[in-house]
Amino acid sequence: MRRIIFGICAIVGLAAITPSCETDFSLNGDYTITPVVFGLLDQNQSTHMIKITKAYLGDGDNLVYAQNPDSNYFQQVDARVIEYVDSEPSGREWSLYDSIITNKDTSGLFYGPEQKVYVFREPALDENAEYELIIDINEGQHEVKGRTTLLSGFDVSGQLSLPTYKVTFNNANPTSSTDYKAWIFTVTEALNAADYNYKYTFNFTEFYMDGSSQSFSLERNEGNQPQEKPSNPQVQTASFGGLSFFEWLDTQIPDDDNVDYRIMTGLDLQIAVAHEDLAQYIDVAQPVTSISQVEPVYTNLENSLGLFSSRFIYEQYNFRLVKNSMRELCIGQFTGTKKFCSQYVEDNTESWACP
């Protein structure tokens, strides 16, 4: 490092005493345009978006370039997705068209809230098929190709879909930590998957002394579970602790004298499943912590950086609590001061029923 700094200083010093010397130089080499593509297919969705941009390089502040859309877009992009069944084209393919999204987070390094993406619509992708992405950039200047499978065979315990199903977080009148129970269910893993992220959302409404009301949602991330063998799916168990559920609500919901009462309006479940290529891409993109500081790069695309892969997002809404857990929410040791009450007919005779 000392030699490099000295060399630059020597050049600058020589230029200062030699008027005929050219002092303008660039630390950047010859610029090669590199496509950067990112797209995830999800057979649970009907609209599929792929971001197609380019890497940029300049002698100025690259953070400034990141805020300029023209530094990131190509002039012409022709892209299509082709479906394959048993390694043969199925006869279905889709041409992508450009569209502007308007909800990109503006706190990041790149331009927003508007960004250009490339879209195709198909509500019935075949989970057993393969999909190839072909992109022609600037009339043959670049051709990008990528291919992905989807996630097939994923399933959740059938009991969760029963209309009578309710979530249990505790026994009756818990007095110790052992009286709290976990919300447990099983998941049938998907072929080609490698990672699962579990979240649930607690929804509630506050009713105020002045007669007004407002609804809120609290999301809790219960972490990830890996799938050990993407090509050989098994069954994994999800478990969300009851004690931690009530302790979490206690920390998230403040006591408020302006609140007359609160009601729980439902518990939503989300399971996000990542294709093995996506899981590897995320793993490689983690911050480098080694002494060498060598930044690894992963891509499954030809002639491009980025990723073309798939994910699957399972969502189920409006779970209710069993009676013991509803009672604990309303008058229990952790949330008893939060003024929750039950609006359900079967609890009308309870002291914790809503007025």
Residue predicted with more confidence, 34 or 233: 233
Instruction: Answer yes or no: is 325 within a domain.
Output: yes
- Counted domains in the chain: 2
Mean pLDDT of 182-205: 98
Do 95 and 216 sit in the same domain of this protein? no
* Whole-number pLDDT of residue 310: 98
Question: What pLDDT band is residue 58 in, cutting at 50, 70 and 90?
Answer: low
Q: Does residue 46 lie within any of the structural domains?
A: yes
Instruction: Provide the mean pLDDT of the chain.
Output: 87
Same domain? For 42 and 159 the reply is: no
pLDDT at 114: 82
Q: Are residues 175 and 254 in the same domain?
A: yes
Q: Edge-to-edge strand order for the sheet containing 77-85?
A: 88-95, 77-85, 130-137, 142-149, 301-302
Q: How many CB atoms lie within 10 A of CB 229?
A: 12
pLDDT for 288: 66
Residue 53 and residue 108 in one domain: yes
Spacing of C-alpha 54 from chain mean position: 23
Domain that holds residue 69: 15-149
Kindly state the average pLDDT of the residues 302-311. 96
3-class secondary structure, 224? strand
- The single residue listed with the structure tokens 């082709």 is 82
Residues 170 and 134 in one domain: no
Last-in-domain residue among 113, 132, 149: 149
In tens, the pLDDT along 122-166 reads: 999 999 999 999 999 999 999 999 999 999 999 999 899 999 999
Boundary-marking domain end, from 119, 149, 179: 149
List, in sequence order, every residue forming a beta bridge with 85; answer none if it has no partner: 88
Residue with structure tokens 């009339």? 139
Could you tell me if 180 and 139 lie in one domain? no
In the prediction, which pLDDT does 73 show? Answer: 87
CA distance 248 to 239: 16
What Cα–Cα distance (Å) separates residue 318 from each residue in 155, 156, 166, 203, 265? 19, 16, 10, 9, 7
Q: Give the mean model confidence (pLDDT) for residues 316-340.
A: 97
pLDDT value of position 235: 98
Cα dihedral value 193, 199, 200, 203, nearest 10: -120
Per residue in 202-242, pLDDT (tens digit) is 999 999 999 999 999 999 999 999 999 999 999 999 999 99
CA 52-54-56 angle, 5° bins: 155
- Hey, what amino acid is at 83? E
pTM: 0.84
Residue 103 has pLDDT above 80, yes or no: no
Indicate if 111 and 178 belong to the same structural domain.
Answer: no
Domain end among 96, 118, 149:
149
Does pLDDT of 66 surpass 90? no
Answer yes or no: do 114 and 232 share one domain. no
Q: Is a pLDDT exceeding 80 seen at residue 322?
A: yes
- Residue 7 has a pLDDT of 36
Of the two residues 61 and 72, the one the predictor is more confident about is 72
- Whether residue 7 is contained in a domain is answered as no
* 306 occurs within a structural domain: no
- Is residue 190 domain-shared with residue 327, that is, in the same domain? yes
- 103 and 165 both lie in a single domain: no
pLDDT of 318 reads 97
Residue pair 200/267 in contact by the 8 Å Cβ criterion: yes
pLDDT value, residue 212: 98
Distance CA 341, CA 327 (A): 8
Residue 257 inside a domain? The answer is yes
The Cα 230–Cα 233 span in angstroms is 6
- Residue 49 is assigned to a structural domain of this protein: yes
**CATH code assigned at 86:** 2.60.40.10
Is residue 15 helix, strand or coil?
Answer: helix
Model pLDDT for residues 254-288, shown as the tens digit of each residue = 999 999 999 999 999 999 999 999 999 999 988 76
Q: Are residues 136 and 234 in the same domain?
A: no
**44 and 114 both lie in a single domain:** yes
Residue 304 lies in a domain: no
**Residue 164 included in any domain:** yes
